[in-house]
């Protein structure tokens, strides 16, 4: 009678194989999660950069049609404090109005401040047909206009929602870099776009990834600088 030896896996070998497969699957899962996070952050960076380019192009065209004297007399209206609610840039025939992302993210912080609205709804950033820069001029009661018709406005940034990835206008500065009083002039315009969840931001920067309440996947802030010219 012939005896046939059948070879198989020992229990130790089987456990080692299962451990190796488990580690391999875990590694693949971790790589997939990390790739997803990098993709999400890349989408936010792309959206902010694209929005910055679009806004820059639109503003540059409006500056070319503007009169420097009107910009100097009405121009940029952003209160120089941390609790500003609305910002305004008036160029004579068109104006740009935006709300502070801080209050759009948490309206309960508004207090006595008021947001700019279109058809009764708070806006993010809009371009408005505004003859003679009226949105940058105070009325008889000493207040700036706070509403405009929908037909006169176009959204440059979509309304801020409660979800991740919404973009807000965090800061705008305008500096005249020519000293003459002609209708033609050069200006340096700087504006900062970033994600609108203020809980993720500290001192105009995204919180460090080591902080427990950071959101590194979606938080991003970018500053844009441009030189613009008026043709009068």
Residues 6+ apart with CB under 8 A from 52: 191, 193, 222, 224
On whether residue 4 sits in a domain, the answer given is no
Measured between alpha carbons, how far is 127 from 77 in angstroms, rounded to an integer? 15
* Closest residue by Cα to residue 156 from 94, 216, 72, 204: 94
On whether residue 14 sits in a domain, the answer given is no
Pairing assessment for the beta strands 117-118 and 205-206 based on DSSP bridges: unpaired
pLDDT value of residue 54: 94
pLDDT value of residue 162: 45
On whether residue 126 sits in a domain, the answer given is yes
On whether residue 74 sits in a domain, the answer given is yes
pLDDT value of residue 2: 57
What's the half-sphere exposure (Cβ side, CA atoms, 13 Å) at 4?
2
Q: Tell me how many domains the chain contains.
A: 1
Measured between alpha carbons, how far is 103 from 115 in angstroms, rounded to an integer? 8
pLDDT value of residue 18: 86
pLDDT value of residue 81: 55
Predicted TM-score (pTM) of the model is 0.77
On whether residue 176 sits in a domain, the answer given is yes
The residue range of the domain holding 208 is 34-230
On whether residue 159 sits in a domain, the answer given is yes
How far is residue 94 CA from its own chain's centroid?
21
Low-confidence ranges of the chain (pLDDT < 70): 1-9, 72-75, 78-83, 160-165, 179, 181, 213, 216, 232
- The DSSP bridge partners found for residue 174 are 189
On whether residue 191 sits in a domain, the answer given is yes
On whether residue 222 sits in a domain, the answer given is yes
Mean pLDDT of all residues belonging to the chain:
81
């Amino acid at each position: 009678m012939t005896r046939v030896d059948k070879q198989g896996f020992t229990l130790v070998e089987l456990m080692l194989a299962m451990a190796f497969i488990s580690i391999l699957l875990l590694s693949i899962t971790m790589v997939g999660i990390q790739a997803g996070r990098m993709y999400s952050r890349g989408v936010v960076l792309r959206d902010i950069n694209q929005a910055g380019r679009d806004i820059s192009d639109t503003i540059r065209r409006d500056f070319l049609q503007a009169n420097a004297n009107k910009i100097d007399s009405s121009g940029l209206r952003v209160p120089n404090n941390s609790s500003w609610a609305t910002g305004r840039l008036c160029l004579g025939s068109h104006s740009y109005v935006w709300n502070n992302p801080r209050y759009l993210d948490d309206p309960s912080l508004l207090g006595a401040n008021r947001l700019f609205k279109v058809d009764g709804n708070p806006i993010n950033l809009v371009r408005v047909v505004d003859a003679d820069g009226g949105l940058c001029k105070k009325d008889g009661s000493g207040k700036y206009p706070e509403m405009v018709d929908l037909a006169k406005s176009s959204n440059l940034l979509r309304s801020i929602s409660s979800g991740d990835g919404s973009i807000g206008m965090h800061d705008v500065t305008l500096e005249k870099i020519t000293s003459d009083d002609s209708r033609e002039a050069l200006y340096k315009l700087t504006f900062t776009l970033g994600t609108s969840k203020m809980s993720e931001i500290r001192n105009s920067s995204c919180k460090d990834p080591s902080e427990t309440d950071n959101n590194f996947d979606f938080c991003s802030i970018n500053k844009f600088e441009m030189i613009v010219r008026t043709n009068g």
